[in-house]
């Protein structure tokens, strides 16, 4: 058995980002940039007014002065003339400051009548002018490669005049549930069987992590079926299996996939839930074999699949985000396996997060996992803790997981 951290490092080290593709700007939201975005324009493109008012020469615009209004400069319609002594131009937010003007007289500090404007408050040079390039200049690097694009980034790339962006392809993840005893929802349930939840839960998790899931037909526990389904997944960036990773079955997967070119890296991790886990490669395709138990499969997915998706997507990849919290109850000492206690999270009156594990932590209880707000992390051999002690928690629910 290897440690959870070593397992994740070996998984991440074996993965490389998907190749780049070019997408129309709106489709790039949530993707990771494969090339940086350099601005193609300067913003603002010229000195512009920050307010509605009058473009003036500050030297003229002293309290009590009266200026001749010679034109108008709304946004998008520059005034083409020059402002001379004693003159002003009506201007609106975003309007280009006309040549000759060096300040803006706010409209609330002005009184307009019959083609003239009276200055009610002396104006300082440069006031209420946004300088050309205040936001960014042509050629400036605005968004680095490796950044996952937010809605704000999409806006920034638009403002920088990019109709297309070069991003990493969404990783295509094949998902193969194995087992004689499972049926898809709504299909006849075999005698002694249960409804399969892993494939579609993992597909949703792959979508949440920015991947593109391909749910393969359920494979019974049969070498040929496993090999055939695995072959179908060779077009994928990664194959995720569930089931078939426990003692004995591990041999089955190996014997089935060995002739197909399967090489095993490791297959057991000192963690709970989730000890049996396979990591290897089927020809060029990385294979992550998750446990068949739905809770184990999802906890392993949070620890390994979500970081793997981040790496494949081209973004920064590492452990799932954990936050400090206080234990809501006393916690028993842990054994040698890294444990994940399904817990409710609440905010105490002092603002601190309080994590309280559900009383029953049986790894078969999917309902408990679905209702959990987070996973309390208990490292191997962690000592017993009193209620109120500091713990680390992976918040679930973030990112739709």
Nearer residue to a second copy within complex by CB, 332 or 390: 390
Residue in 205, 236, 287, 376 binding a second copy, rule: CB under 8 A: 205
Whether residue 123 contacts residue 56, with contact meaning beta carbons closer than 8 Å, is answered with yes
**What gap in Å lies between CA 300 and CA 241, rounded to an integer?**
12
**What gap in Å lies between CA 319 and CA 399, rounded to an integer?**
15
Whether residue 393 contacts residue 375, with contact meaning beta carbons closer than 8 Å, is answered with yes
Q: Which of residues 30-69 bind a second copy (CB under 8 A)?
A: 30, 41, 43-46, 50, 52
Min. distance of Cβ 213 from a second copy in angstroms? 8
**What gap in Å lies between CA 196 and CA 182, rounded to an integer?**
5
Question: Does 152 interact with a second copy (rule: CB under 8 A)?
Answer: yes
- Please state, in angstroms and as integers, the Cα–Cα distance from residue 82 to each residue in 65, 71, 91, 122, 325, following that order: 20, 10, 14, 21, 64
Give which of 1, 7, 18, 5 is closest to 238, Cα–Cα.
Answer: 18
Question: Does 190 interact with a second copy (rule: CB under 8 A)?
Answer: yes
Min. distance of Cβ 231 from a second copy in angstroms? 23
Min. distance of Cβ 94 from a second copy in angstroms? 7
Whether residue 193 contacts residue 184, with contact meaning beta carbons closer than 8 Å, is answered with no
Min. distance of Cβ 207 from a second copy in angstroms? 6
Nearer residue to a second copy within complex by CB, 65 or 369: 369
Min. distance of Cβ 319 from a second copy in angstroms? 14
First to last CA, the chain: 27
Question: Does 207 interact with a second copy (rule: CB under 8 A)?
Answer: yes
Question: Does 162 interact with a second copy (rule: CB under 8 A)?
Answer: yes
Q: Which of residues 352-391 bind a second copy (CB under 8 A)?
A: 362, 364-370
Residue in 36, 125, 193, 261 binding a second copy, rule: CB under 8 A: 193
Query: What is the three-state SS of 199-235?
Result: HHHHHHHHHHCCCEEEECCCECCCHHHHHHHHHHHHH
Q: x/- site string to a second copy, residues 10 to 29, per CB under 8 A?
A: ---------------xx--x
Question: Does 158 interact with a second copy (rule: CB under 8 A)?
Answer: yes
Give which of 329, 318, 320 is closest to 388, Cα–Cα.
Answer: 329
Q: Which of residues 111-140 bind a second copy (CB under 8 A)?
A: 130, 134-136
């Amino acid at each position: 058995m290897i440690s959870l951290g070593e397992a994740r490092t070996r998984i991440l080290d074996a993965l490389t980002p998907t190749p780049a593709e070019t997408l129309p700007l709106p489709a790039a939201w949530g993707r990771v940039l494969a090339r940086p975005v350099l601005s193609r324009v300067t913003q603002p493109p010229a000195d512009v007014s920050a307010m509605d008012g009058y473009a003036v020469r500050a030297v003229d615009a002293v309290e009590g002065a009266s200026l001749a209004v010679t034109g108008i400069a709304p946004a998008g319609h520059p005034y083409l003339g020059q402002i001379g002594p004693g003159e002003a131009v009506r201007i609106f937010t975003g309007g280009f400051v006309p040549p000759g003007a060096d300040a803006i007289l706010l409209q609330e500090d002005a009184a307009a009548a019959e083609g003239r404007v009276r200055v009610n408050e002396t104006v300082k040079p440069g006031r209420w002018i946004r300088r050309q390039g205040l936001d960014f200049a042509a050629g400036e690097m605005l968004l680095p490669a490796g950044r996952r694009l937010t809605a704000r980034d999409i806006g920034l790339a638009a403002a920088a005049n990019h109709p297309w962006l070069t991003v990493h392809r969404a990783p295509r993840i094949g998902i193969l549930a194995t087992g004689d005893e499972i049926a898809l929802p709504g299909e006849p349930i075999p005698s002694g069987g249960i409804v399969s939840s892993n494939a579609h839960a993992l597909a949703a998790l792959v979508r949440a992590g920015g991947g593109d899931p391909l749910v393969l037909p359920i494979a019974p526990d049969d070498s040929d079926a496993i090999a055939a389904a695995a072959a179908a997944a060779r077009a994928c960036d990664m194959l995720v299996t569930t089931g078939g990773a426990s003692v004995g079955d591990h041999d089955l997967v190996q014997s089935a996939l060995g002739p197909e070119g399967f090489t095993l890296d490791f297959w057991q991790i000192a963690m709970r839930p989730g000890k049996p886990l396979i990591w290897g490669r089927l020809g060029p395709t990385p294979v992550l074999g998750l446990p068949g138990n739905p809770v184990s499969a999802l906890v392993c997915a949070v620890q390994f699949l979500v970081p793997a998706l981040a790496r494949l997507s081209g973004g920064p990849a590492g452990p799932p985000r954990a936050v400090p919290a206080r234990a809501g109850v006393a916690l028993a000492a842990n054994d040698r396996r890294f444990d994940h206690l399904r817990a409710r999270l609440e905010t105490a009156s002092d603002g601190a997060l309080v994590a309280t594990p559900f009383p029953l932590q049986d790894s078969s209880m999917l309902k408990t996992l679905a209702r959990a707000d987070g996973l309390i992390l208990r490292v191997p051999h962690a000592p017993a803790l009193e209620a109120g002690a500091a713990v680390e928690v992976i918040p679930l629910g973030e990112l739709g997981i």
